[in-house]
A = this chain, B = another copy of it.
Amino acid sequence: VTISPPTGALSMAGIGTAGLGEVLGLFRTRPSLTRADVMQQTGLSRSTVNQRLDALLAAALVVPSGEGSPTGGRPASRFAFNCDRGVLLVADIGATGMRTALCNLRGEVSAEVERTIDVASGPQRVLSAADEMFGRLLAGAGHTAAEVHGVGIDVPGPVDFALGQVVSPPIMSGWDRYDIPGWFEGRYDCPVLVDKDVNAMAFGEQRSAHPAVGQLLMVKAGTGVGAGLILGGEVYRGANGAAGDIGHIQVTVENADIEPVCRCGNTGCVEAYAGGWALIRDLRAAGHDPATVDDAVNLIRTGDVTAVRLARRAGRIIGHAVADAVSLFNPRVVVVGGQLARIEEQLFAGIREMVYRRSLPLATRNLQIVAATLDTRAGLVGLALLLADGIFAPERIGSLLQRA
Which residues of A does B touch, CB under 8 Å? Answer: 8-15, 17-19, 22, 25-26, 40-45, 47-48, 158, 160, 167-168, 214-215, 227, 229, 231-233, 236-246, 248-252, 264, 266, 268, 320, 323-325, 327-332, 357-363, 365-367
Contacts and interface: CB of A to CB of B under 8 A. Distances in A.
A238 B167 contact: no
B250 A320 contact: yes
Give how many copies assemble into the complex. Answer: 2
Contact of A332 (B214, B236, B239, B328): B239
B12 A330 contact: no
Q: Which interface residue of A160, A241, A328, A360 has the most chain B CB atoms within 10 A?
A: A328
A366 B324 CA distance: 24
A327 B358 contact: no
Nearest to A251: B252
Given A250-B252, A252-B268, A330 B8 contact: no
B42 A45 contact: no
A12 B42 contact: yes
28 contacts: A8-B233, A9-B25, A9-B233, A10-B22, A10-B26, A12-B19, A15-B40, A17-B43, A18-B40, A45-B48, A158-B360, A167-B361, A215-B238, A231-B231, A237-B330, A238-B363, A239-B363, A240-B362, A240-B366, A241-B330, A241-B362, A242-B327, A242-B330, A245-B330, A249-B324, A251-B252, A264-B360, A324-B324
A169 to B, nearest CB: 9
B44 A331 contact: no
Q: Which interface residue of A44, A233, A244 has the most chain B CB atoms within 10 A?
A: A44
A177 to B, nearest CB: 10
Given A12-B22, A12-B43, A252-B268, 11 more contacts: A17-B43, A45-B45, A158-B360, A238-B329, A239-B331, A241-B362, A243-B328, A245-B359, A252-B252, A328-B328, A328-B329
A240 B330 contact: yes
A365 B250 CA distance: 20
Where chain A touches its partner, the secondary structure class is loop
A122 B169 CA distance: 52
Contacts of A328: 227, 229, 243-246, 249, 324-325, 328-329
Contact of A360 (B40, B227, B245, B251): B245
A26 B18 CA distance: 15
B160 A362 contact: yes
A146 B25 CA distance: 42
A176 B179 CA distance: 53
Contacts of A19: 12, 43
A332 B252 CA distance: 27
Contact of A242 (B167, B242, B244, B362): B362
Nearest to A8: B232
A362 B168 contact: yes
Nearest to A167: B362
B243 A329 contact: yes
Contacts of A215: 238-239
A399 to B, nearest CB: 18
A197 to B, nearest CB: 15
